Amino acid sequence: MSSRIAVIGAGLAGLRCAELLCDAGFDAHVYERENRVGGRMATDSIDGFLVDHGFHVMQTAYPTSKRTFDFTQLGAKAFEPGAIVVQQRSSKPKFWRLADPFRRPFQGVASGLNRFASPFDLLRVARLRFSAGKGAIETVYDGGNDSTSAYLSKRGFSSSMVDRFFHPLFSGIFLEDELKTNERMFRFVFRMMSKGDMVLPRNGIQAAPESVAQRIGYGRIHLSSKVEVRDDNTLLINGKEHSFAAVVHAYTTSPAENDRHVWTLHFDAQHSPLGSNHILLNGDVKLKKQLIAHVAVPSDIQPSYAPEGRSLVTVTVVGSNADSLGFSTRDDVLSQVQTELASWFGEQSSEWRCLAVQHIRHALPEPLDDLGDTPSLGTDRFECGDHMMHGSAEGALLSAEHTAQAVIQSLRQ
Ligand SMILES: Cc1cc2nc3c(=O)[nH]c(=O)nc-3n(C[C@H](O)[C@H](O)[C@H](O)COP(=O)(O)OP(=O)(O)OC[C@H]3O[C@@H](n4cnc5c(N)ncnc54)[C@H](O)[C@@H]3O)c2cc1C
């Protein structure tokens, strides 16, 4: 039998798995059906703008990302910790700047005094930060296994704090609008956000998986491959049969289970509507049944995202929220988003040119039911991807590491 290993799928998980197999001395090759690497981490170039598929950031605190990426080489730059929250007050928008008091102590004191949150909620945030941040990373998966929303109310947060802050932030991360996602996932993300930075690579999010592909070498990556599985060790690739010592399936076989979807709208603006490098959360999204969860200006962080003198404004609308409010077409979503933007930014936003309206289906999988610190390995074959743990680069990379280890062990037996 051939000593070659086939990895089907050149998303982040497949690439990382192949890299680890190559590092261990195996002859790994990646077969990808599309004509680019990166899977869901994709970037288009439109009229000189770098347009990522969805608002997509890297977290420098993810343990697996630290092992996988060279953030300096990627030219990564960070958003400011904290956020701006906008809400309509007597028909005028009010913008609250919320700094992270632990990482920006001076601005944090000012945020504490701006009356967005009650002193009790501020105290609860501090306690949450302390408890989610202490101990080994694995401990975030200990304890309760309830929904995020139940967890936040168990910790005593007021509904105002949940609806105006946690809801727009975490519905936009989990891509679901009930905060039904497992509290363990919430604790993990909250810990990562408080310990590290949210960054964008200089050349768009696709540059991250591309950096792994470059290390493997494009000679081992076969794009636009039509793969049919014959049996555990045999594949029909572009009509020709090949046998392998092992085959890794780095994709989900049930994409319908990745049912969390998102609308992302990208605009070409004369200048940035935000006065700082934060993301803007819509504090009214739940209370006033609005569409926009959050707005970011990637070109404020990475000027390479827009041509000289222009700004890229990126708007996130959680798919299930659009569904429940009855918005299902591109034109309807765009028109409502433009209305909400105009209510905050006035006339200037009516001049923004829409570059793209992306409806990204099957964006994220449901996290595993009994989420722990170890990804599932699959039962009857080698499989990896974020669907084996939780929908994030961390889930994809951790799964890749575990599966690569399982392949190595099985072939060395
Ligand atoms: C809009 C959006 C925003 C996100 N934001 C973040 C974020 O901010 N932070 C974060 O950590 N994560 C984020 N994620 C999640 C992150 O992108 C994913 O967790 C990660 O990219 C999953 O990688 P993967 O390799 O498991 O799967 P995929 O990227 O889906 O890769 C699977 C690959 O397999 C290929 N493939 C499938 N079937 C076949 C076949 N039969 N033959 C050959 N090839 C095949 C596919 O074409 C694809 O390239 C976001 C995802 C989306 C969609």
Task: State the pLDDT at residue 126.
Answer: 85
Residues 240 and 91 placed together within one structural domain of the fold: no
> Do 83 and 218 have their domain in common?
no
Residue 406 placed within a domain: yes
Taking only the tens place, the pLDDT of each residue in 184-230 is 999 999 999 888 999 999 999 999 999 999 999 999 999 999 999 99
Rounded to the nearest whole angstrom, what is the distance from the C-alpha of residue 387 to the centroid of ligand 1?
Answer: 9
DSSP 147: B
Q: Could you tell me if 320 and 186 lie in one domain?
A: yes
248 and 386 in a single domain? The answer is yes
Residue type, 89: R
Residue 65 lies in a domain: no
Contacts of 411 (CB under 8 A, 6+ apart): 5, 26, 245, 246
Instruction: State the CB neighbour count (10 A cutoff) for residue 154.
Output: 11
Examine residue 55 and state whether it is found in any structural domain, yes or no: no
Q: What is the DSSP string of 37-67?
A: S-TTS-EEEETTEEEESSS--EETT-HHHHH
Q: How many Å lie between the centroid of ligand 1 and the Cα of residue 318?
A: 18
For residues 170 and 173, what is the distance between their CA atoms, to the nearest angstrom?
Answer: 5
Ligand 1: residue of 40, 62, 264 to mutate (most ligand atoms within 8 A of CB) is 40
Q: What are phi and psi of 292, to 5 degrees?
A: -70, 130
The CA 9 to ligand 1 mean position distance, Å, reads 9
Please report the pLDDT score of residue 132 as a whole number: 79
CA of 41 to the centre of ligand 1 (A): 6
Task: Please indicate, yes or no, if residue 143 is contained in any of the structural domains.
Answer: yes
pLDDT in tens, the chain (413 residues): 567 999 999 999 999 999 999 999 999 999 999 999 999 999 999 999 999 999 999 999 999 999 999 999 999 999 998 899 999 988 899 998 887 755 665 555 556 656 777 888 888 888 888 887 888 888 888 888 899 999 999 999 999 999 999 999 999 999 999 999 999 999 999 999 888 999 999 999 999 999 999 999 999 999 999 999 999 999 999 999 999 999 999 999 776 666 899 999 999 999 999 989 999 999 999 999 999 999 999 999 999 999 999 999 999 999 999 999 999 999 999 999 999 999 999 989 999 999 999 999 989 988 777 788 888 877 789 999 999 988 999 999 999 999 999 999 999 88
Q: Please name the amino acid found at residue 289.
A: K
Do residues 170 and 284 share a domain? yes
15 three-class SS? helix
394 in any annotated domain:
yes
CATH number for the domain that contains residue 357: 3.90.660.50
The token pair that represents 282 in the structure block: 């819509």
Range of the domain at 273: 77-200+259-364
Residue entry with tokens 């540059």: 207
Specify whether 277 is located in the same domain as 317.
yes
Q: Is residue 72 part of a domain?
A: no
Amino acid at 161: M
The answer to the question of residue 141 being in a domain is yes
Strand spans (E) along 325-411: 353-364, 382-383
Please tell me the predicted confidence (pLDDT) of residue 379: 74
How many domains, the chain?
2
Q: Closest by alpha carbon to 320, among 180, 225, 207, 126?
A: 180
What pLDDT, on the 0 to 100 scale, is given for residue 143? 81
Rounded distance between C-alpha atoms, residue 175 and residue 381, angstroms: 29
In the sheet with 77-78, reading across from the earlier edge strand, the strands are 58-59, 198-200, 77-78
Q: Are 394 and 62 in contact (CB under 8 A)?
A: yes
188 and 282 belong to one structural domain: yes
Q: Which residues contact 227 (CB under 8 A, 6 or more apart)?
A: 8, 31, 33, 235, 236, 237
One-letter identity of residue 286: K
Burial of 1 (0-12, 13-18, 19+ CB in 10 A): exposed
H helices of 45-197, in order, are: 63-68, 105-113, 119-133, 148-154, 159-161, 167-174, 183-195
Confidence at residue 103, expressed as pLDDT on a 0 to 100 scale: 65
Q: Which of 175, 251, 258, 301 has most ligand 1 atoms within 8 Å of CB, for mutation?
A: 251
Q: Which pLDDT does position 371 carry in this prediction?
A: 81
Q: Which pLDDT score, from 0 to 100, does residue 98 have?
A: 84
Residue 222: CB atoms within 10 Å: 16
Q: Same structural domain for residues 297 and 347?
A: yes
Q: Tell me how long the chain is.
A: 413
Q: What is the pLDDT of residue 140?
A: 81
